[in-house]
Amino acid sequence: MEHPVSRDCLERFAAGAATCDEGRTIALHLLKGCATCAATLRNLNRQRAPMDAYDRSLDRFERGLRAEVQAPSGMLTVLRAVLKKSEHRVEELLARR
């Protein structure tokens, strides 16, 4: 059976350049306990982890989250709809008093 994660994929993951699908695949694979890939990633991270890698990862996450929230079909639209429904309910409750 062929190994589900290639060395190239692990290198992209270690460099913060893996696609979302690659990242998910690697994370699931590591959670299943592949000691070989875990050791490879440890070695890759020792070799090339720049000091700002963690900050860059968080920045990428934040940009993605903002894009999702600001997208027309994103969470902002859903939140507005929920708040609008809540506003109508509050008005109904106040009118009953």
What pLDDT, on a 0 to 100 scale, did the predictor assign at position 1?
A: 47
What pLDDT, on a 0 to 100 scale, did the predictor assign at position 50?
A: 66
Q: How far, in Å, are 12, 52, 62 from residue 55 at the CA level?
A: 17, 5, 10
Residue found by looking up tokens 């590591």 in the block:
30
- Say what the alpha-carbon torsion angle 30, 28, 74, 60 is, to the nearest 10 degrees: 20
Q: Block means of pLDDT (10 residues each) for the chain, length 97 residues? A: 83 89 92 92 78 80 79 69 74 70
Residue 24 CA to residue 68 CA, distance in Å, equals: 18
What pLDDT, on a 0 to 100 scale, did the predictor assign at position 65?
A: 79
What pLDDT, on a 0 to 100 scale, did the predictor assign at position 76?
A: 67
What pLDDT, on a 0 to 100 scale, did the predictor assign at position 75?
A: 66
What pLDDT, on a 0 to 100 scale, did the predictor assign at position 34?
A: 92
